[in-house]
């Protein structure tokens, strides 16, 4: 068979490779402690589950949704006003997505022609690059450096690349680096995008998981809506990852074009899930604080624990991940990842899976409970993996 040339840019996903490793070890009866995939193990609040259950039993909800329920659009507008102080038009500046992954896969198709430049962070969540590649884009990296607190250096972007760029993807708090951008960065970002006529996509999946307090919306900053959109998600904040609920909000022209594309690709979000989303963002928001505190607690337990056994890593300011420099006696991220897994059963993601600038680091997801984290630290300590050979 002959397959599309666009598939030539995709190899096997690192997460598929890690899943095979996990399966093979488990088949041998050996323990696996999986910190690789950011799949939340904090379940949705009871009221959200009850809403979903009730609406699922209503046989009238099994029609094609086609478009978002007006009450869902209104709920998102109220959520953004209450949470970020951002005013949105519910009918023209809001649309649902079947998870942020779907939006990241398809938005570039509405903005980019083959050969156009898209500015992408390096390292980054893989779909940032892959979505642009599906549209035939040329990727230009924006390195995220530890010495710059993983904040994009806009001045370092080559003038020719900035002039030619059609789209720029940004995300803070950041996955995988856990970096957090200061207010000044967003202000400069808007100026930069306007100067070079670049559309900005800000992925804001972790703004509620900033441990010093809730994070910002890109749209809070003057002029942002003129040049960009923001993605937000209920996956991590409300524990609804499998329900696939995301939202694009912001510039009405971009939202409209994306709605047109979606109208040719799917028949909308299952109505009971829309009702559950309304319940999540309109009800008592103390559940968000509980989730944030749970991730903060796990962060402290994991980071302080591995420091005590000889792995000196940074304490992240936000997200549900830990971005950790590998021990000095390892030559690269993959050798450390595979050695760690072989000796302890602890599965992490090598940093170079997120881009060349991720080399020398690994990402760990805070998706295990306290007892498992404590046990993991004991197992790693017994392995002597952090002692130079």
pLDDT tens string 229-275: 999 999 999 999 999 999 999 999 999 999 999 999 999 999 999 99
Question: What pLDDT sits at residue 179?
Answer: 97
Supply 188's token pair. Answer: 């400069």
- Asked if 354 and 309 sit in the same domain, the reply is yes
Map residue 368 onto helix, strand or coil: coil
Query: d(Cα 362, Cα 57) in Å, to the nearest integer?
Result: 44
In a domain, 49, yes or no: no
- Asked if 128 and 243 sit in the same domain, the reply is yes
Mean pLDDT of 146-166: 98
Instruction: Give the domain-ending residue among 282, 304, 323.
Output: 282
- Asked if 20 and 97 sit in the same domain, the reply is no
CB 284 within 8 A of CB 242: no
Query: d(Cα 262, Cα 238) in Å, to the nearest integer?
Result: 25
Which CATH number belongs to the domain containing residue 179 in this structure? 3.40.640.10
Question: What pLDDT sits at residue 138?
Answer: 97
In a domain, 318, yes or no: yes
In a domain, 327, yes or no: yes
pLDDT reading at 110 higher than 90 = yes
CB 239 within 8 A of CB 52: no
Q: Which helix (H) or strand (E) holds 173?
A: none
Give the C-alpha distances (Å, rounded to integers) separating 214 from 217, 288, 291: 10, 10, 12
- Asked if 303 and 167 sit in the same domain, the reply is no
- Asked if 362 and 338 sit in the same domain, the reply is yes
pLDDT tens string 293-305: 999 999 999 999 9
In a domain, 104, yes or no: yes
How many of the other CB atoms lie within 10 Å of CB of 64? 10
- Asked if 14 and 125 sit in the same domain, the reply is no
- Asked if 31 and 167 sit in the same domain, the reply is no
Give the C-alpha distances (Å, rounded to integers) separating 173 from 30, 203, 262, 334: 35, 9, 27, 25
Query: d(Cα 29, Cα 24) in Å, to the nearest integer?
Result: 9
Mean pLDDT of 109-128: 97
- Asked if 209 and 299 sit in the same domain, the reply is no
Mean pLDDT of 341-367: 97
Supply 273's token pair. Answer: 């899930």
- Asked if 40 and 71 sit in the same domain, the reply is no
What mean pLDDT is reported for the chain?
96
Nearest-10 crossing angle of helices 333-344, 370-383: 100
pLDDT tens string 174-227: 999 999 999 999 999 999 999 999 999 999 999 999 998 888 999 999 999 999
CB 216 within 8 A of CB 83: no
pLDDT reading at 389 higher than 80 = no
CB 280 within 8 A of CB 78: no
In a domain, 388, yes or no: no
CB 168 within 8 A of CB 161: no
Task: State the residue range of the domain holding 179.
Answer: 61-282
In a domain, 145, yes or no: yes
Cβ neighbors of 263 (< 8 A, separation 6 or more) are: none
Instruction: Give the domain-ending residue among 251, 282, 313.
Output: 282
- Asked if 142 and 266 sit in the same domain, the reply is yes
In a domain, 50, yes or no: no
Query: d(Cα 104, Cα 99) in Å, to the nearest integer?
Result: 9
Query: d(Cα 260, Cα 116) in Å, to the nearest integer?
Result: 21
Which CATH number belongs to the domain containing residue 302 in this structure? 3.90.1150.10
- Asked if 196 and 342 sit in the same domain, the reply is no
Question: What pLDDT sits at residue 335?
Answer: 96
In a domain, 53, yes or no: no
- The string of DSSP letters for 97-166 reads ESSHHHHHHHHHHHH--TT-EEEEEES--HHHHHHHHHTTPEEEEEE--GGGTT---GGGS-HHHHHHEE
- Asked if 217 and 114 sit in the same domain, the reply is yes
Instruction: Give the domain-ending residue among 255, 282, 309.
Output: 282
Q: Total structural domains in the chain?
A: 2
**Any bridge partners for residue 199, and if so which?**
167
Question: What pLDDT sits at residue 14?
Answer: 82
pLDDT tens string 73-101: 999 999 999 999 999 999 999 999 999 99
pLDDT reading at 353 higher than 90 = yes
Query: d(Cα 129, Cα 105) in Å, to the nearest integer?
Result: 9
Question: What pLDDT sits at residue 388?
Answer: 72
pTM for this model (two decimals):
0.96
pLDDT reading at 7 higher than 90 = no
Question: Any idea what DSSP says for residue 62?
Answer: G
Nearest to 239, CA basis, from 168, 320, 340: 320
């Amino acid at each position: 068979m002959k397959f599309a040339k666009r598939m030539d840019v995709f190899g096997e996903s690192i997460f598929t490779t890690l899943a095979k490793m996990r399966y093979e070890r488990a088949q041998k009866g050996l323990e696996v402690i999986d910190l690789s995939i950011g799949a939340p193990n904090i379940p949705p609040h009871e009221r959200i589950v009850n809403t979903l259950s009730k609406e699922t039993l209503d046989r009238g909800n099994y029609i094609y949704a086609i478009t978002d329920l007006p009450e869902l659009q209104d709920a998102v507008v109220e959520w953004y006003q209450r949470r970020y102080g951002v005013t949105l038009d519910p009918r023209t500046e809001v649309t649902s997505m079947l998870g942020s992954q779907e939006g990241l896969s398809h938005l570039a198709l509405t903005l980019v022609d083959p050969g156009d430049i898209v500015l992408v962070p390096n390292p980054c969540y893989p779909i940032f690059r892959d979505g642009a590649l599906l549209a035939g884009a040329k990727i230009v990296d924006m390195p995220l450096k530890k010495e710059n607190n993983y904040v994009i250096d806009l001045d370092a972007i080559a003038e020719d690349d900035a002039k030619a760029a059609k789209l720029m993807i940004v995300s803070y708090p950041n996955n995988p680096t856990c970096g957090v951008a200061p207010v000044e960065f967003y202000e400069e970002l808007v100026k930069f995008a306007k100067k070079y006529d670049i559309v900005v996509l800000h992925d804001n999946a972790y703004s509620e998981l900033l441990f010093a307090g809730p994070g910002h919306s890109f749209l809070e900053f003057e002029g942002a809506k003129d040049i960009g959109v923001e993605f937000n998600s209920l996956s991590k904040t409300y524990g609804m990852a499998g329900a696939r609920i995301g939202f694009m909000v912001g510039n009405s022209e971009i939202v409209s074009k994306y709605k047109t594309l979606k109208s040719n690709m799917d028949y909308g979000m299952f109505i009971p899930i829309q009702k559950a989303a309304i319940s999540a963002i309109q009800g008592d928001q103390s559940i968000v604080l509980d989730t944030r505190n749970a991730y903060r607690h796990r962060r402290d337990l994991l980071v302080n624990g591995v420091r005590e056994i000889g792995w000196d890593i940074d304490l992240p300011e936000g997200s549900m991940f830990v971005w950790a420099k590998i021990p000095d006696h390892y030559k690269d991220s993959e050798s450390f990842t595979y050695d760690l897994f072989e000796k302890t059963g602890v599965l992490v993601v090598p940093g170079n899976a997120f881009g060349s600038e991720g080399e020398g680091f690994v990402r760990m997801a805070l998706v295990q409970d306290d007892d498992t984290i404590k046990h993991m630290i004991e197992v790693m300590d017994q392995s002597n993996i952090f002692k130079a050979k």
